[in-house]
Structure 1
Amino acid sequence: MEPYVKQEIQNGIATIEFFHLEQNSLPSYLLSELAATITNAGINDDVKVIILKSGGDRTFCAGASLKELIAINDAQTGEEFFSGFANVINAMRKCPKFIIGRLQGKAVGGGVGIAAATDYCLATQHAAIKLSELKIGIGPFVVSPAISRKMGVSALSQITIDADRFFDAQWAKEKGLYANVFESIKVLDEAILALATSLCSYNPEAMQETKKMFWRGTDDWDTLLAERATISGRLVLSDFTKETLKKFK
């Protein structure tokens, strides 16, 4: 199957889905499509609530495209590469509609950032999380504001420093990333549909104002995440990171 970002609107619910054969990793062009799709859903009067999901029944998102990461040879390209997830997170932050995250499986790196940027996230018991950036010599600079906002600095520190470890879904729930964890995708989808349907009966203006309240104090994120992308773009050119990435070729 070809990679895609697609949207379906039904009964006021916009379901946005992304897919890539490489464990739903997100190359730059898919990140751009995803950010635009979220933005457009936010201004569509037919949409009252958004469900964000990925295709397949295994990994939710393996993060950024490893092939693109390995190919970076200059600071500008590096900055543009890491800006991809920054743009998606900012699109989610600015979207006036509630975004429900649906995690059917593991999330790594940028995938954890996307989960953290949802307004309400539900997952299966298989949705373990991992931040592996520090291991390759970079660091989760772009996604860390979203993660620390949702889970706290202590949890962010744990998953950042223990970069080899997958933290299970129950741990992520205890730290605030997931609102609930379910045994199967079937039960997960039933819960998400029930929640989304219920939200569609609420006052759209009240939900919009509530979302503003949730995201208070993040007005500087356009600048902040751009600065973080610059840091990552510089570090990816370091000798340490280049040597580490050779192992993945």
Structure 2
Amino acid sequence: MNEPYVILNVEKKVGYIEFFHPNRNSMPSDVLMQLEQTITDAGNNDAIKVIVLKSGGDRTFCAGASFNELIAIEDEEKGKQFFLGFADVINAMRKCPKLIIGRVQGKAVGGGVGLAAATDYCLATKYASIKLSELSIGIGPFVIEPVVSRKIGKTAMSQMTINAEQFYSAEYAKEKGLYGEVFNTTEELDEAVKTLAENLSTYNPEALKEIKTVFWESTEHWETLLTERAKISGKLVLSKFTKKTLKRFR
């Protein structure tokens, strides 16, 4: 069985950050912590001009929170800490002084949609359908809501949240502004990501840094906001409803 990992490779001034988990790239706390640290390090690395965020495997970009870890949560503080993992990654992406290009090769669920939305520009394949399933398991997409709403609008975000068991197509995600372009194959996606990232890496780094700041204007309060949201999820994950539902998915 493949082990979970987060790795950073630098090629032609582009920092490729790849995360992987054998369970459909779901995110346990340790992977979230590594991802946050790797994004922060890449942001501070002078050899890197642009960052690409990608995941290993070909079926799923990211299945969101690790259900096994959610089931094990026994008190509100632990619950809050778990969801803070996603908050910390989103905030690291937001504050990173470099542009982050997303490469989404397959399905994104829950927190996976949050990661895609936190990139500055995202490219995907036609297999990269999206779903916000949180409400159906007894919690809600509280931590990722600000970043998803910022990207696709509150209306689309609330529709997806309410239709919690429905996958929305990659074309829908493109229409709503989550994806910049959708490709037929992973090969085409990789070629486009590489071309875009290498091209951007030749631009004025000061201009890139300044435009990133402009993109994320009015989000300075997210440190506090996402912590509050993590608290809500941390409480709900302890409810009888959620505990019972999660056992079915174990």
Q: Shorter chain as normaliser: what TM range?
A: over 0.9
Equivalent residues in 2 for 1:89-238 (5 A)?
Answer: 89-238=90-239
Partners of 1:241 and 1:3 lie apart in 2 by 26
Structure 2 counterpart SS, 1:47: coil
Offset from partner CA, 1:197-241 (integer Å, 9 cap, x none): 110110000000000000000000010000000000011111211
The corresponding residue for 1:13 is 14
Partners of 1:30 and 1:240 lie apart in 2 by 27
Letter of the structure 2 residue corresponding to residue 194 of structure 1: T
What is the CA-CA distance between 1:246 and the residue it aligns to? 2.1
Structure 1 portions without partners, runs of 5+: none
What is the CA-CA distance between 1:27 and the residue it aligns to? 0.5
Structure 1 counterpart SS, 2:219: coil
Runs (4+) of structure 1 exceeding 4 A deviation are: none
Partners of 1:101 and 1:61 lie apart in 2 by 12
Structure 2 counterpart SS, 1:247: helix
Does residue 63 (structure 1) correspond to residue 64 (structure 2)? The answer is yes
Offset from partner CA, 1:24-82 (integer Å, 9 cap, x none): 01110000000000000001110000000000111000001110001111001100011
What is the CA-CA distance between 1:145 and the residue it aligns to? 0.5
The corresponding residue for 1:244 is 245
Give the share of equivalent positions with the same residue, in percent.
Answer: 64
What is the CA-CA distance between 1:23 and the residue it aligns to? 0.3
Offset from partner CA, 1:143-178 (integer Å, 9 cap, x none): 010000000001101110000000000000000000
TM-score, normalised on structure 1?
0.99
Structure 2 counterpart SS, 1:127: coil
Letter of the structure 1 residue corresponding to residue 224 of structure 2: T
Partners of 1:219 and 1:18 lie apart in 2 by 27
Letter of the structure 2 residue corresponding to residue 126 of structure 1: Y
Report how many aligned residue pairs link the two structures: 249
Structure 1 counterpart SS, 2:100: strand
What is the CA-CA distance between 1:126 and the residue it aligns to? 0.1
TM-score, normalised on structure 2?
0.99
Does residue 38 (structure 1) correspond to residue 35 (structure 2)? The answer is no
Structure 2 portions without partners, runs of 5+: none
Partners of 1:248 and 1:190 lie apart in 2 by 36
CA RMSD across the alignment: 0.6
Partners of 2:21 and 2:237 lie apart in 1 by 23
Structure 2 counterpart SS, 1:112: helix
